[in-house]
Every structure is written in C-alpha cells, then in structure tokens.
A and B are shown apart, each in its own frame.
Chain A
Amino acid sequence: MSRIGKAEVEHVAGLAQLELDEAAKERLVHEMGDILAYMDQLNALDTTNVEPMMHALEMTNVFREDCVGESLPREEALRNAPNHDEEYFIVPKILEGGNA
C-alpha cells in the first residue's frame, strides 16, 4: 500500500500544471509514496519549542536607494519569448477556450 494514491497524484499534478500519462501516474504513486514515507521519519522528532529556520541568513530587510537604474532594453527582454511583437509577449487568448 503506497503512502499516496492516484487521486492525490492527479490533484498535485493539477496544482503544478503538469499532465501525466497513466504509466507515469502509476510510477509516481510508488516513487512519491516511498519518498513521502521516508520524509515521515521527521515525525519521530519532537520539535515543539523549535523555531523554524525560515531564512538561510538571519538578516532582515536589505534596503537600497530608490533610484532609477539601468534596465534591460525592451527588445532584449522580448528576444527569448516564443511569441512576441515589438512591444508585447503574445499568448493564446485568455477569455476563450475553456479555462479551468
């Protein structure tokens, strides 16, 4: 019995915007199940009074002057886009096409 089922794999894939074929789902039920079961060993530790380590460095806000600096020229910023014109990234229509 795996730690998670196919329905959970499908749910998470939906959240992650990934589509999986049936074979991949079956494989992931077992692979993710094994890995999550391994992760469950953390439950053996009592962490009641432990402060979570939210940041790698114990630093707070890093400020800089709010001034105009150099930025990427527009054509450079657009150059790697799969579809663009002179000013915009172009994407498929948003309001049609049965979005979930």
Chain B
Amino acid sequence: MTAPWCDKTGHEIREAVVRGDVTARVVTEAHLARIHALDGKIDAYTQIWEEYALAMADRVDEKRRSGATLGILAGVPISLKELMCTKQGETTCASKMLAGYRSPFDGTMVQRLAAADAVFLGKVNMDEFAMGSSTENSAIKTTKNPWDLGCVPGGSSGGSAAAVAADLCSMSMGSDTGGSIRQPAALCGCVGIKPTYGRVSRFGLVAFASSLDQIGPLTKDVRDAALCLNAICGRDPMDATSVDLAVPDFTAALTGNVKGLRIGLPKEYFTDALGAEVREKVMAAIEVLRGLGAETVEVSLPHCDYAIAAYYIICTAEASANLARFDGVRYGFRHPDAKDMRGMYVMSKSAGFGPEVRRRILLGTYVLSSGYYDAYYLKAQKVRRLIKQDFDEAFEKCDVVLGPTTPSPAFRFGEKTADPLEMYLSDIYTISVNLATLPGLSLPCGLSSSGLPIGMQLIAKPFAEETLLRTAHAYEQNRGFDMGKPPIA
C-alpha cells in the first residue's frame, strides 16, 4: 500500500507541519490507517490510542493556527514501549502481573515528548518486564520482524523496532538494560541509541535493573535520534541518578565531518564468534568512514568475555529486588484464591510472572542469598569495574569504538527459546556498554544475503553522545546504498 507520510522521518514531518504543508492530523490519520491495515501481520502494537492521538494532533494544529512556536517534535507520531508509565491507556510491561494497570502519572520522558508537541499513537510490545532478546517473552502477543515474518524482531524493545521498520510510527521510545534498544534496532534495520547512564530521567520507566536501565529512541535516521535526545535528556528532580549536565543541541553534532576521528576496533569483537556476513558489512562500513578521513586503531577489551556472566549476576540481582514490589497489595495481580498474606504473595507472584521473569528472580535471589553474595554479586561488581577500565583505556587511544551490534542477523522464532543461556549469549556485544554506563548506538550497515538487516554499533565515552551521532550520521550520509524498506505490503 502507498503510505503518504508514513515513510517520512520525524524531522521531515516536523518541518512539513511547521511549514503548513500538512497538518498533524493528516499525518496521524495516515499512520493510524497504516496500523489498522498492517499491524495484524506485524503485531507490534499492544494499544492503539486512536482518539487520544488525534486529539494530540489537533492541539498541535491549533497551536500552529494560533501562531505559537511549535515544539521540536511537532506532529511527530511516536509509539511507546509497554513499560513507560502513561496516564493514558495501560502500562502492562507485557506481563499478566500488570494487566489493566493504569499509571496515575506520566513519566518524565513522556511529559517531555508531549511538551515538544509529539503525538502518541499508542504502546508497543516487548519482552515481559524487558527480560529477553526476541520479544517472545511477551505475555500479550508475538511481534514479527517486518523484514521476514518468520523471524524475531529482537528484544526487549521488539515492538518498537518492528513498528519503526514497518512505518507504523515515525519513532518509538525503548529502554536498554543490556542491549534492548540496540539489538532490536539492528535486527529490524533502525537506528537505536542507548544514552549514557544518567542522561535521561528514568522516572516513570518501570525498573528492571536500576544500575543499567536507560531510555532511548529507535528511529529511521540519525538526525531523528539527535532530535529526540534534544527533547528527553537532562536533569530531573524525580530521578536522583539523572545527571545535572548541560544538554547540547545534539543536531549540531551532525556536521558530516569525521576527519581525524580515531575509531577503535576491539580485536575481541572481530573473532570467529562473529558471523561472516556481519563481519563483511561492518568492515565495509569501516572503509566508508576511512574514506571520509577517519583513522582506525586496534584496541583491546580483554575482559569482554566475562561481560555476560557479570551482567546476568548483576541484572538478575537487581531485578529480584525491583520486582519484589509486585506483591498483590498496591497494584498488579492478586490471586483470587489467596487466603493469607504469605499465600497472597506466593500465589500472586507465581501466577502473575512468566517463566523467564521467574527464572531471573530465582537467579537473582540465589546470587544475593546468604553464603553466595561474595562469590557472585560482589565478584560481578569487581568484574564490572574491570570492564569499565577496559573501555577507559581504549578511549585513551580512540574517540569512538566500532563493532557489530549482534553476532548474526535476526533469528527464527523458537530458535533460542529452548536454552535460556543461548538467548543470553546473543547480547554479547551490547551488554558491556551498559555495565560500563557508556552511550551506544546501533545503525544499519547493510542487508544479509537473505535480506535481513545488519547493524553496527558505535560506543563512546560517558556523555559523548555527540561523537556517536556525528560518526553515525557521516556514515549514514555516505554509505552509498539505500537500506530500502521491508517487503511487507
């Protein structure tokens, strides 16, 4: 089907709305029509906010008619991952535990996007409580990869990536604890950025692992990622871990100039574990950046092989503490047959959480339990320090680290569900970035022989998102091919 406005980027839509070439209502209606026509195949959306979206669009159009200055995301249709607290609709985390939950407040990121005149189309699917790498752990539905409906979209922000790739929204807000923005972005051919820990307020983001979680956008191009960061970054009194640091105009970093930029290539990222096709496309991307005047230097991240083990100790430990709040008292599922307090806790948690969430709560409880704390949790925190130090040393030699986002393109449904450990290993390149609190960005760098997107990852020093965006944008503008669109209707 033809999709007027749906194939446009957020900045193109915003410019058209500001110029008066189109109204926000027309853009919103076009997206809603496409969602109704196509999402039955993709299953990205969990909630479609038809009336709410049109009312938001009408407010933007009214604002323009009144002559008021329009926000930096005026009329841009956005979808939100199911774990972003919104007064509108439900906030379920794709879990039976929170079915029907209506947040009494909007999260800070949601408030900031609304203040920038964005339009919310609805919410999109995810792995339950953001635990997973394929969105197969959703209790709501199975989201398909628009490039191949037999393949997963990645996860946990799989609904976000699929919705952006299928032009069912202009951009989507995701969260990233170990790769949950970058991995699905890579598997669906989108741009996805996980900002530095502390860059974006997490107030209103349902917590998974609090020392790792960060919010960020999945977009159609690098400029949209920069634009979105302009709207959402910055200190928030409601989140003590949000950093009081000046927020630059990230779009000003998109100069196209990477002359003299030092790109570090970690030798540990280009081993036999990396698929041949992914290697080939990432190497070709490096050549494009070299052609633009960037220099490459080999760096080493000697502890990266330990990242997954450290990560799954830390994230499950934090998850077991965070998810203890779902006790059936103040919100969430309460088992109707519970007769006493202990029974209410046990029966509600056991029936409300899905298998992967239960598994992680058990692992986290185990590594924090008496007698094991030092051997697991404390050890993992020491290894986390070593991983961070690896990056510190690498950044003495380079400005940005470049490598693959994932070892292979999108995998098929069921391929990794039998063995949880194998699913965990698919996040090998993204996890250490969260442990080291760094900003990371994935962007498309080609298609596999079977037509699946391949992503490359850029990593920078803390709060050096501008370096990431500058590098990514220069590549995107000069890569010399068009990624095209997924072969859906």
**Number of chain A interface residues as a range:** 35 or more
| In the complex, A31 has a CB within 8 A of chain B | yes
The B229-272 residues at the A interface (CB cut-off 8 A) are 237, 240-241, 243
- A29 → B minimal CB distance (Å): 11
**Number of chain B interface residues as a range:** 35 or more
Indicate if the CB atoms of A45 and B362 lie closer than 8 Å. no
- B309 → A minimal CB distance (Å): 5
| In the complex, A7 has a CB within 8 A of chain B | no
Indicate if the CB atoms of B341 and A82 lie closer than 8 Å. no
Chain A residues with Cβ below 8 Å from B198 are 56-57
- A15 → B minimal CB distance (Å): 5
Interface mask (B438-459 → A, CB under 8 Å = 1, otherwise 0)? 0000000000000000000000
Residue with the highest number of chain A CB atoms closer than 10 Å, among B101, B309, B320: B309
Indicate if the CB atoms of B346 and A53 lie closer than 8 Å. no
A35 to B382, CA, bound (A): 19
Interface mask (A50-85 → B, CB under 8 Å = 1, otherwise 0)? 111111110100101000000010001101111100
Chain B residues with Cβ below 8 Å from A62 are 240
B343: contacting residue among A13, A45, A97, CB under 8 A: A97
Chain A residues with Cβ below 8 Å from B345 are 17
- A50 → B minimal CB distance (Å): 4
- B371 → A minimal CB distance (Å): 11
Interface residues of B (CB under 8 A from A): 101-102, 104-105, 197-198, 211-212, 237, 240-241, 243, 303, 306, 308-310, 312-313, 320, 327-334, 338-347, 349-350, 353, 355, 358-359, 361-363, 365-367, 369, 375-376, 378-386, 388, 419-421, 424, 437
14 A–B contacts from the bound complex (CB under 8 Å): A19-B347, A31-B420, A32-B363, A32-B366, A34-B421, A35-B421, A42-B306, A53-B382, A53-B384, A53-B385, A80-B104, A94-B341, A98-B340, A99-B341
